[in-house]
């Protein structure tokens, strides 16, 4: 541990500067015009892997954005860890809410501020530096592979196929991922569950053109009014989702497991205060942690119609649109939920309107066991570096490709994330505390050490 800490201390400014170089590349996967930057980011990671000691690294083309693959193979007979991460980031809008430009990283109050500082450039880069550290110290005790993709934030459309085509290359005993959070800097946790996702876009059409709202208002159905009503009807007074069949496959969590989960520290007053809200809203009968961890949810992610520019315009719009996503729990099937959602929206669209619903992306949820070598290794590693036993926590977020890894490659994942809920991922002023960045680099080599022990 002392040797690890010393290495990080000696090289910490360089580690940070190298991360900044990666962050400065605006690799926003949802923008077609980011093509050159996606290639640049992939190339940057490939070179970083080679410099850190990989004996092979390459940028592999896919049907979408490229995947960076690299490895260091010590011996076929040793365990193999496959590190997964993503170099793509979310768009930065609204720009005016950033206190510093999103792709010009800077440190303020001990935190790195930039898009990707946490999600996932900061977190994946900890793995590159931990790998460098183990190579420099000669402590690497197993085979390591890296698969860093560029499409996570758009639903990983090409990665499942990539995995199918590269099964042999990706063979490993465990997939190690840092792309999640822990409870707090002094309350380490390991993510043992991710929610699935169904993401759809709805378009409701009324009259064949925008109308004068005085000449027609009151006499013609307004798609904006009507879509708002349709959306409101998707949840009832208990915040249950009303789509028929929606809960059919939901796995109920046992009372004893709920009691176990409730032991994780959570302060509702602080939670509300951090968000400037005086009340929380969610499914009746469940705590806030249960509402995100073990229960599905439905949210409007975007909604638009009519006139939204400056000032007033009296218009009865022809169309209204919404992007709606549902977070799913393990055992709910995202394709089936898409179908139920589409059928239900078609059935509730009022007379005189037409509704079109299309699925954008989705994926299955995931639960990891806590009684297997990788969990024990992560737990021991964190215990040693944080001086506290980590708590297993089910997260509300999604990394849909994780369940595909198990399905296609037959490999389980361990979610050893070092982010915090307060890192504002996907939001303006995304940040990542230096403490978490360096602590992650210190913890990862211990994971390798204990994983090899646990596998022996
Ligand atoms: N890293 C996040 C997921 C995450 C964050 C899980 C924190 C648990 C804790 C990932 O990059 C992400 O944003 N996933 C998307 C899904 C994707 C299909 C757009 C999400 O959860 O919205
Ligand atoms: Mn991520
Ligand atoms: Mn993300």
Reported as a single tens digit per residue, the pLDDT across 254-286 is 999 999 999 999 999 999 999 999 999 999 999
Reported as a single tens digit per residue, the pLDDT across 375-394 is 999 999 999 999 999 999 99
Per DSSP bridges, beta strands 319-328 and 196-205 are antiparallel
* pLDDT for position 1: 85
Contact criterion met (CB below 8 Å) for 231 and 224: no
Q: Write down the CATH number for the domain with range 2-194+365-455.
A: 3.40.630.10
Q: Which run of H or of E encompasses 165?
A: helix 159-165
Q: What is the rounded CA–CA span in Å between residue 136 and residue 234?
A: 56
What is the mean pLDDT of the segment spanning 227-245? 98
Share of the chain above pLDDT 70, in %: 100
Q: What is the rounded CA–CA span in Å between residue 153 and residue 361?
A: 11
- Of 398, 420, 422, the residue with max ligand 1 atoms within 8 A of its CB, to mutate for a pocket test, comes to 398
pLDDT at 30 over 90: yes
Q: What is the rounded CA–CA span in Å between residue 1 and residue 367?
A: 31
One DSSP character per residue, 317-370 reads: -SEEEEEEEEEE-TT--HHHHHHHHHHHHHHHSPTT-EEEEEEEEEE--EE--S
Level-2 CATH architecture, domain 196-240+296-361: 2-Layer Sandwich (3.30)
Quote the ligand 2 centre to 86 CA distance (angstroms).
7
* pLDDT for position 117: 98
Quote the ligand 1 centre to 194 CA distance (angstroms).
9
pLDDT at 148 over 90: yes
> Domain residues of the chain, as ranges?
2-194+365-455, 196-240+296-361
Q: How confident is the model at residue 49 (pLDDT cuts 50, 70, 90)?
A: very high
pLDDT at 413 over 90: yes
Per DSSP bridges, beta strands 366-367 and 174-177 are unpaired
**For residues 241-266, b (16+ Cβ closer than 10 Å) or e, as one string?**
bebeebeeeeeebeeeebeebeeeee
* pLDDT for position 315: 98
Q: Which residue's CA is minimally distant from atom 1 of ligand 1?
A: 179
What is the mean pLDDT of the segment spanning 109-123? 98
Mean pLDDT of all residues belonging to the chain: 97
* pLDDT for position 64: 98
Q: Which run of H or of E encompasses 231?
A: helix 223-232
Reported as a single tens digit per residue, the pLDDT across 1-12 is 899 999 999 999
What is the mean pLDDT of the segment spanning 36-43? 98
Reported as a single tens digit per residue, the pLDDT across 195-211 is 999 999 999 999 999 99
What is the mean pLDDT of the segment spanning 86-110? 98
* pLDDT for position 195: 98
Reported as a single tens digit per residue, the pLDDT across 277-327 is 999 999 999 999 999 999 999 999 999 999 999 999 999 999 999 999 999
Pocket of ligand 1 (CB under 6 A): 119-120, 152-153, 155, 179-181, 197, 361, 395, 397-400
């Amino acid at each position: 541990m002392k040797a690890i800490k010393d290495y990080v201390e000696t090289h910490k400014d360089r580690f940070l500067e190298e991360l900044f170089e990666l962050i400065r590349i605006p690799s926003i996967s949802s923008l077609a015009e980011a093509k050159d930057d996606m290639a640049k980011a992939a190339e940057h990671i490939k070179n970083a892997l080679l410099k850190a000691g990989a004996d092979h690294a390459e940028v592999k083309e896919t049907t979408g954005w490229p995947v960076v693959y690299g490895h260091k193979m010590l011996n076929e007979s040793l365990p193999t860890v496959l590190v997964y991460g993503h170099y793509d980031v979310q768009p930065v809008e609204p720009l005016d809410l950033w206190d510093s430009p999103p792709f010009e990283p800077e440190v303020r109050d001990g935190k790195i501020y930039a898009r990707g500082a946490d999600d996932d450039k900061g977190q994946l880069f900890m793995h590159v530096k931990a790998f460098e550290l183990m190579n420099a110290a000669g402590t690497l005790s197993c085979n390591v592979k890296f698969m860093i993709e560029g499409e996570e934030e758009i639903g990983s459309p090409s990665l499942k196929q990539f995995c199918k085509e590269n099964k042999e290359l990706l063979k490993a005993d465990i997939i190690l991922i840092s792309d999640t959070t822990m409870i707090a800097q002094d309350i380490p946790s390991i993510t043992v569950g991710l929610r699935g996702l169904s993401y759809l876009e709805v378009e409701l059409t009324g009259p064949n053109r925008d109308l004068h709202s005085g000449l027609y208002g009151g006499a013609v159905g307004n798609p904006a009014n009507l879509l708002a009503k349709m959306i409101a009807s998707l949840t009832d007074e208990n915040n249950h989702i009303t789509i028929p069949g929606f809960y059919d496959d939901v796995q109920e969590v046992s009372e004893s497991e709920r009691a176990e989960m409730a032991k994780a520290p959570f302060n509702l007053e602080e939670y509300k205060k951090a968000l400037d809200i005086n009340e929380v809203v969610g499914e009746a009968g469940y705590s806030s942690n249960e509402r995100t961890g073990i229960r599905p949810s439905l949210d409007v992610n975007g909604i638009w119609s009519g006139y939204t520019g400056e000032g007033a315009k009296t218009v009865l719009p022809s169309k209204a649109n919404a992007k709606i996503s549902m977070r799913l729990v393990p055992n709910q099937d995202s394709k089936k939920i898409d179908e139920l959602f589409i059928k239900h929206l078609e059935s509730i669209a009022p007379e005189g309107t037409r509704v079109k619903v299309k699925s954008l992306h989705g994926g299955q949820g995931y639960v990891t066991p806590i009684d297997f070598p990788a969990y024990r290794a992560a737990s021991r590693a964190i215990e040693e570096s944080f001086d506290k036993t980590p708590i297993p926590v089910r997260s509300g977020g999604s990394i849909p490709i994780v369940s595909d890894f198990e399905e296609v490659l037959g490999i389980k994942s361990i979610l050893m994330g070092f982010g915090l809920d307060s890192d504002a991922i996907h939001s303006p002023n995304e940040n990542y505390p230096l403490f978490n960045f360096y602590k992650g680099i210190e913890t990862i080599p211990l994971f390798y050490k204990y994983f090899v022990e646990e596998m022996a």
